Structure 1
Amino acid sequence: MKKLILSLFVFLAFAFNAVAQERTITGTVTSQENEPIPGVSVKVAGSKTGAITNENGKYAILVGSSATTLTFSYLGMVEQAKTIGGSSTIDVVLVSDSKTLGEVIVTGYTTIKKSEFTGAASVIASDAIENRPVGSFTQLLQGRAPGLLANSGSGQPGSNATITIRGIKSISGAGAQPLYVIDGVPTSSGDFQSLNANDFETITVLKDANAASIYGSRAGTGVIVITTKQGKSGASQIGVRAQTGITAPPDFSRLNLMSTSELLAHEELVGLLTGSSNAAFSVPGWVWSRKNPANATRTEAELLVFDRKLDSVRNINTDITDLLFRTGVSQTYEVDASGGTANTRYFASLGYFGQDGIEKTSGLERYSARLNLTHVKNKFKMQWNTSLGYSISTSAVGDLYGNSTLNPFQMIYRAKPYDNPYLPDGTLNFGGGGSNLSLKTLANLIESNNATRDVLKRWKVNSGLTLSYEIIPNLILKNTSGLDASNVLNTTYINPDSYRGSVQTYNSGFAREGSTINSQFINTTALNYSHSFTDKHKIAAGAYFEAVRVYNKGMGFLLYNLNKALPWTGQGAAPLPTAGAATMPQNASSASSGYGIRSFFGSLQYTFDDKVSANVNVRRDGTSRIINPDNREIISWSAGAVWNVINHSFMKTKLS
């Protein structure tokens, strides 16, 4: 016995010593610009222990007594190893991989070598987003660029992520999104579900005051510049892409919800503890319980009936996940062609993308096309980039009702596991008059899904024509004319010949349609000069004039009392009854708006020996959105320098 006690003591002492030697290392990973880097892989060298930095660049990792080194790795950065030693805090600054120094920064107006760019920018190559089965490429930006945070607040296929670059700029502008520019033409941040991200070549994220001085006040929350694929001279190349994938619903078992037997026992216990009467607590586990004082005077025959009812309910364990959710299937089919001669090159693509949402009423279909042409003749160059997209987004019906028993995500934890939505003949047990003893909530939800259509259809076109001519050596005159337009039709219908339709206003369905047309015309004229002197001095200058005109038009209607013979249209909707008074016709509404922006801006850059670069940008914007003539003109400027030997930079901006 003494030996056993001694052995147990030694074992506990050894185990305590082993645990005592484990400790947690914390720290922050930042870039050279002192920006936190989310998504950095932190590992204990020689083991499988690892961690990932959060959106603030912070990490915490548990290391054992034998651990000596932590490694930090991130795409586009040089991997670093840090000795653990006796410190419990290890902060790391990751530097850009030297292999990327030859990259260029595309600002939308010009291109600059990354080593000469004085602002803060990150370049995301096409392979980071290509062949990813998502409806909007914004969902793929998380972890791709330091200082950029992408949050997807919805599981709806094609929904855009909310992008935040270097934090929220103001309380009133907390929801403002970056300016997106495709091949020099600004585009709406809400239309990416209609564009094919596999056509993108590069994505450049401009983050600081330099971006504001280039694009003005529109760049207050950053700029994301996109270039699309271009053809290359040579034999024609044809590519075909087919891809399929699945999306599984969440593992709702993690909620650790009660089974029917557990819930019935819980209901009985709550009834006993609270002394609830049948009227106040009418749930099967208590109403039909022999322990319920209200049943003390019942006969044995009546109690046996209650026992059979409880046994019947106890055998019902509805799989709510299988009832309301599914494994979504995504499909991609594309064909592209590129090629050309030394003078004329082309890139063209056609694509289809389809994705089922995990909620049974949601999904997305997209049809896309692109044609990019480039023609060069002596000193003249023409480039035409055009994309066309059409998308059909079917929204989850439950989103219409929010915090409601008609929302499937709510019903995962609100529904009773003994709620059977079907009658013995297989039809839905929907309708009014449901209670905790005769549940109809799940059946009403399914009936509502079957009786409702919430569809958004979107046409999208983005096109730009750029003409340039070299007037004299190193002096180029360039003009870009562009159009970005979309037409969105949002329709919501509830079948008038349904239970859900019968409980709408005037008891006969519901129809809502809204159509919006958003268009943006832009014309940018530029005069650019660049020249190198004695192989050490390089100068680049540009003068620009830009005009933007925006038109918006919206119209819609809201109808009740629909024609049951035409359930998915407003045609034949009856006038609204007014309790004996004269009938009142149904109404529609419309609105329109527009504004213009006129801008003058210029840039000057000097580089010495590919080591030291200095840059100045000045921009003056005027807009018709501001009525007061004293405030409608805005001047923004920035100045910066970078010394590549020590990678030091500074930036200043002033708005007036």
Structure 2
Amino acid sequence: MKQKLMLFAAFLFMSIGLASAQISTVTGEVVSSHDGQPVPGASVTVKGTQVSSFTATDGTFVIHKVPAEAKALVISCIGMKSTEVTIAEHVSVRLEPIASGEGPAVVIGYGTAKKVGTVVGSVTKVVTDQVKITPATTAMDALQGKAANVQILSSSGDAGAMNQVSTTIRGVGSLTAGNEPLFVVDGSPVASSVFYKMNPADIESYTVLRDASATSIYGSRAANGVIYVTTKKGSRYEKATVTIGQSFGWSQLARKVGNPMNSSQLLDYQLKNGIITGEEYNNYKVQNTNTDWGKYFFDNAAPMSQTTVSISGGNERTTYYTSFSYLDKDGLTPRSLYKRYTLRQNLDSRPLNWLHYGVNLGLSYDERNSDAYNSTDNFSLTSGVLAGTLYPPYYDPYNEDGSKADIIPFVNTYNYYLRYKYNPGKSNEARINGTAFLELTPLNGLTVRSQLGLDGADTRRNTYNMPSSPMNTEEGQGWSYKSFDRFSMWTITNTIEYKFKIGEKHNFTLLAGHEGIKYTNDGFSADVEGLRDDRLLEFGSAAEASLSDMSSYTAKYEYLSFFGRIDYGFSNKYFANFTIRNDRCSRFGKNNRSATFLSGGLMWNMKAENFLKNVDWLDDLKLKASVGSTGNSGIGNYASLGTVGTARYNGNPNAWVLSAPGNADLGWEKQIQWNFGVTARLWNRINLEANYYIRQTKDMLMEVPVPWITGFSDNNLNIGEMKNSGIEFTFDADVVRSKGYGFNLNLYGNISYNKNEITKLFYGLNEWIIPQTGLAYVVGKSVNYYMPVRAGIDPADGQIMWYVPDENGKLTGETTKVFNEDALNVNTGKPRFAPWTGGFGLRAAWQGFTLNADFAFVLGKWMQDNIQYFTRNSQQAAAGGFNQDKDMLNAWTKPGDITDVPRFGVGNYFDTSLLQNASFCRLKNLSLSYDLPKAWMEATRFLTNVRITGAIRNAFTITKWKGSDPELDTNSAKTQFPNTREYTIGIEVTF
């Protein structure tokens, strides 16, 4: 019996040992020891066999059919030190970078992610540690100044205004077609307006793709670059983390509106020039009123608040991230407001070793209203920007109790606080954007993925004129306006990717894919008049119940694309890629809807060469070169079609006419881009990157004039050429680096120069003046301002003088005092688009304190200040009694006076006196945060971290611009709502 028991025990132990040796499947994850980020594309091989696999985007891997006798795994990745680990059912591996400059993982267009240091193209990744939560409403504004040659300008401080942030990469590539980059969120293209709807705290990183090697895989819409946004996700084997944040703040104008005279100055000016009598002068002096109309029209402390809640975590198979946010932001005027609710749910799961699926879903709902009285072209005296500089300060618009009077003196109109009360209006929008994907790995190294993306919104607008409004002159003048708009953009993407090695030195990645996009937009609007009761504002309550100004519309477009890419790496030294993509787009003519785009790139990892391996101070050095083509389809949906419309003919109001000629040959605007770059890391502290590029646009999409004999004024053609060329330089340095709570200091900066040049126009012309813009297209020049050049003020008589150009458009020094715009127009040489852009800043940390300062600058920027046409115009002052700029106090008064202000009675003109240097450097974000000591958190047994933060957005601006805001992206500053300075203080608690 004893022998039987011993035999049974021996058999049991042998069975256990055999079972443990027969591990058929091994799973795991690979991360970088440098930053803890997943390492995608790493090779995982069973030592001594050909059995292998590659890590996915999140760094995880699965190996099937592991031999029973296998003992170890060999993990290797380009730019990382290879390592061996003992085989187990699940292993966790940390790879050490050969050069820490390899950087984080990036997605460069379909397929799995790569380390930045292994990407051939010009790519910049900005993670959310560099873009702290700031008072910015839009996520794109938070990126300003962080990436080289990415110019982001915010053209409005109106809380309820939409799409007022413009973004360009490497200059402007088209004169009349779109210049906005392609925005991609979690692998699916979206409209730029989606960033106004997103909570910036949900964004994990931004990746900017600049050159053709990086962008050509996106083909048809990548001519202006790509900004790829990745939202936050949970981490595997991470316990649930709950973060709650609450912030409060207020906003005010970033800069004062204008430089008007005060009461004393204006009264003296008007008395001196006979605008008012001595009696009027004495009466106003006695009242002793000095109204600041800028403060009257714009609130100096508009409140704002934001609440955020997020939960993230994961287990071996599934990760999750859920967040909610609520933003409530009052504008500086009563018509400006914004409320936003967001919900995000990201789920990623691997229920089986060969099956991977996920959903990234963002939902938002907002209520907003923009200030129509401070819109771009509103030059009425209800505009706060204009009225704030023109209303005389000796008028008092307040009641005795300090409240605003219903009637504004001087103009004798209702104030627009009252106007808003009786003309309420508000928009609301429900929006969805997200992706859902299914990914299969039937074989080691082979990934098959199908993804569906959606970006859609439902928008409604209601505006009323209350029947009880005192501005109505008779009963029944109440009205109601309603509009509805819905759009959806569906994107389906299917890819197959195969990674494999030949020997130990040859690494290949093959990618093939298909993509289809379908966009639909429809809406209608109508209004009804004859409302008589404030409680009954629906259409059916109108006395005559008749609709007016009713309209509807529908718009559609579609894309069909096929693409492929080959990536090759040899011995961690030499890299190459080749991309091809074919696109068809419904926007173009039936004869020219398809186009093929190609790109290729090379990279040499010089640090891996023997002659540099032992250079201790040099951690990384790479040379890059690429060339490729991309396309631009940023035109109207039906620009290629001949369309019809209705008109009155021979007394018949319903006659049919041709309204557009159409062009069946209208095709793609194409760009060819060359890029040469170098990246380096020195002393394991300093990262440097420099690029030189040439970007040539051909077959430019332009709306050009056609002979009137055709019956049309213009048509859309592929004609004209343009070139952008420039340099980019980026650096960041860990100046001081300490462990734990010691002092750490990081500095960063980037600067770019872009030369824009028109190389060909239409019909063989060398010059084309754009009416009523002050701009002209000139071959061999950038888009420049084209206007009369003021020569100064004649000291003898105080009249304005202008330079007279010769027949070649050159200024010879001859002057005239007779203004003739057509005869005096000349190329000023001042560019519409600024050549220099960049940003710089620092991050300092010590003992739980963290200081961030982020600056953005634009140099060589010029704009017309149309407000000065009114505020430096003595004819306006005389005719209407308007206030004037303080510079008018320096007006010419007697022979011999040297000044740039003409004598009283001489008006203003649209000439270079309105053209000003709008270059600026702005402190976009200044924040100071404090994390409570970890020991305090551990003592609570449930808190992980508590952070208190104070921040200022647009803290100050350095500029020569005399107007309200130099950041506007326009050729002519009019009555646009100026940018705001915003202060916030908040607390973030993590459990």
Match of 1:626 among 588, 598, 601: 588
Aligned counterpart, 2:513: 544
Aligned counterpart, 2:424: 453
2:599 is the counterpart of 1:598: no
Q: By how many angstroms is 1:135 displaced? A: 1.3
Q: Identity, % of aligned pairs?
A: 27
Deviations 1:62-85 (A, max 9, x none): xxxxxxxxxxxxxxxxxxxxxxxx
- Aligned residue for 2:253, secondary structure, equals coil
- Aligned residue for 1:472, secondary structure, equals coil
CA distance in 1, matches of 2:504, 2:205: 30
Change in Cα spacing, 1:601 to 1:324, as seen in structure 2 (3 Å) is same
Whether the 8 Å contact between 1:623 and 1:633 is mirrored in structure 2 is yes
CA distance in 1, matches of 2:425, 2:303: 20
Aligned counterpart, 1:246: 250
Structure 2 unaligned regions, length at least 5: 1-97, 607-620, 631-667, 669-991
CA RMSD of aligned residues (A): 2.7
Change in Cα spacing, 1:469 to 1:321, as seen in structure 2 (3 Å) is same
2:527 is the counterpart of 1:526: no
Q: Counterpart amino acid of 2:224?
A: T
Aligned counterpart, 2:764: none
CA distance in 1, matches of 2:511, 2:557: 27
Change in Cα spacing, 1:479 to 1:450, as seen in structure 2 (3 Å) is same
- Aligned residue for 2:233, secondary structure, equals coil
CA distance in 1, matches of 2:128, 2:181: 20
Q: Once structures 1 and 2 are overlaid, which stretch shifts more, 489-498 or 364-373?
A: 489-498
CA distance in 2, matches of 1:244, 1:545: 46
Q: By how many angstroms is 1:311 displaced? A: 4.4
Match of 1:318 among 291, 309, 312: 291
CA distance in 1, matches of 2:386, 2:259: 15
Change in Cα spacing, 1:495 to 1:427, as seen in structure 2 (3 Å) is farther
Deviations 1:201-230 (A, max 9, x none): 111111122344211121121111111111
2:473 is the counterpart of 1:489: no
- Aligned residue for 2:548, secondary structure, equals coil
Q: Counterpart amino acid of 1:408?
A: G
Following superposition of structure 1 onto structure 2, how do residues 171-320 of structure 1 map, counting pairs within 5 Å? 171-173=175-177, 175-233=178-236, 234-252=238-256, 255-271=258-274, 281=275, 283=276, 286=278, 288=280, 307=282, 309-313=283-287, 315-320=288-293
Aligned counterpart, 1:367: 341
Q: By how many angstroms is 1:430 displaced? A: 4.8
Q: Counterpart amino acid of 1:257?
A: P
Change in Cα spacing, 1:425 to 1:472, as seen in structure 2 (3 Å) is closer
CA distance in 1, matches of 2:388, 2:507: 65
Whether the 8 Å contact between 1:332 and 1:352 is mirrored in structure 2 is yes
Deviations 1:216-264 (A, max 9, x none): 1211211111111111233211111112222232453x84432223222
Deviations 1:431-460 (A, max 9, x none): 6xx8xxx52457533322333334221211
Q: By how many angstroms is 1:182 displaced? A: 0.9
CA distance in 2, matches of 1:405, 1:109: 53
2:436 is the counterpart of 1:465: yes
2:330 is the counterpart of 1:356: yes
Whether the 8 Å contact between 1:451 and 1:501 is mirrored in structure 2 is no
Aligned counterpart, 2:880: none
CA distance in 1, matches of 2:330, 2:593: 47
CA distance in 2, matches of 1:373, 1:286: 77
Match of 1:421 among 393, 397, 421: 397
Aligned counterpart, 2:368: 393
Q: Which has the higher strand share?
A: 2
Aligned counterpart, 2:578: 616
Change in Cα spacing, 1:480 to 1:250, as seen in structure 2 (3 Å) is closer
Whether the 8 Å contact between 1:388 and 1:460 is mirrored in structure 2 is yes
Aligned counterpart, 2:706: none
Change in Cα spacing, 1:425 to 1:230, as seen in structure 2 (3 Å) is closer
Q: Counterpart amino acid of 1:358?
A: L
2:158 is the counterpart of 1:165: no
Change in Cα spacing, 1:468 to 1:251, as seen in structure 2 (3 Å) is closer
Aligned counterpart, 1:410: 386
Whether the 8 Å contact between 1:240 and 1:334 is mirrored in structure 2 is yes
Aligned counterpart, 1:378: 353
Whether the 8 Å contact between 2:284 and 2:394 is mirrored in structure 1 is no
Whether the 8 Å contact between 2:109 and 2:215 is mirrored in structure 1 is no
CA distance in 2, matches of 1:129, 1:501: 50
Aligned counterpart, 2:835: none
- Aligned residue for 2:207, secondary structure, equals strand
Q: Which has the higher helix share?
A: 1
Change in Cα spacing, 1:489 to 1:616, as seen in structure 2 (3 Å) is same
Q: Counterpart amino acid of 1:226?
A: V
Aligned counterpart, 1:565: 534
Aligned counterpart, 1:553: 522
Change in Cα spacing, 1:247 to 1:600, as seen in structure 2 (3 Å) is same
Which protein has greater RCO, CA pairs closer than 8 Å, 6+ apart?
A: 2
Following superposition of structure 1 onto structure 2, how do residues 12-91 of structure 1 map, counting pairs within 5 Å? none
Deviations 1:289-322 (A, max 9, x none): 5xxxxxxxxxxxxxxxxx5x34443x22223233
Aligned counterpart, 1:129: 131
2:616 is the counterpart of 1:640: no
CA distance in 1, matches of 2:558, 2:173: 24
Whether the 8 Å contact between 1:201 and 1:228 is mirrored in structure 2 is yes
Q: Counterpart amino acid of 1:529?
A: Y
Q: By how many angstroms is 1:609 displaced? A: 2.0
- Aligned residue for 1:621, secondary structure, equals strand
Q: Counterpart amino acid of 1:497?
A: S
Change in Cα spacing, 1:569 to 1:396, as seen in structure 2 (3 Å) is farther
Whether the 8 Å contact between 1:494 and 1:500 is mirrored in structure 2 is no
Aligned counterpart, 2:102: 101
Change in Cα spacing, 1:565 to 1:256, as seen in structure 2 (3 Å) is closer
Per the normalisation by structure 2, the TM-score is 0.49
Aligned counterpart, 2:315: 341
- Aligned residue for 2:273, secondary structure, equals helix
Whether the 8 Å contact between 1:562 and 1:573 is mirrored in structure 2 is yes
CA distance in 2, matches of 1:569, 1:267: 51
Deviations 1:367-396 (A, max 9, x none): 011111111021110111111011112212
Matched residues, number: 513
CA distance in 1, matches of 2:179, 2:539: 36
Change in Cα spacing, 1:585 to 1:333, as seen in structure 2 (3 Å) is closer
Deviations 1:598-647 (A, max 9, x none): 1110000101122211000000111233341x311111110111112253
Whether the 8 Å contact between 2:506 and 2:570 is mirrored in structure 1 is yes
Change in Cα spacing, 1:208 to 1:567, as seen in structure 2 (3 Å) is farther
Whether the 8 Å contact between 1:497 and 1:567 is mirrored in structure 2 is no
Q: Once structures 1 and 2 are overlaid, which stretch shifts more, 200-209 or 242-251?
A: 242-251
- Aligned residue for 1:594, secondary structure, equals strand
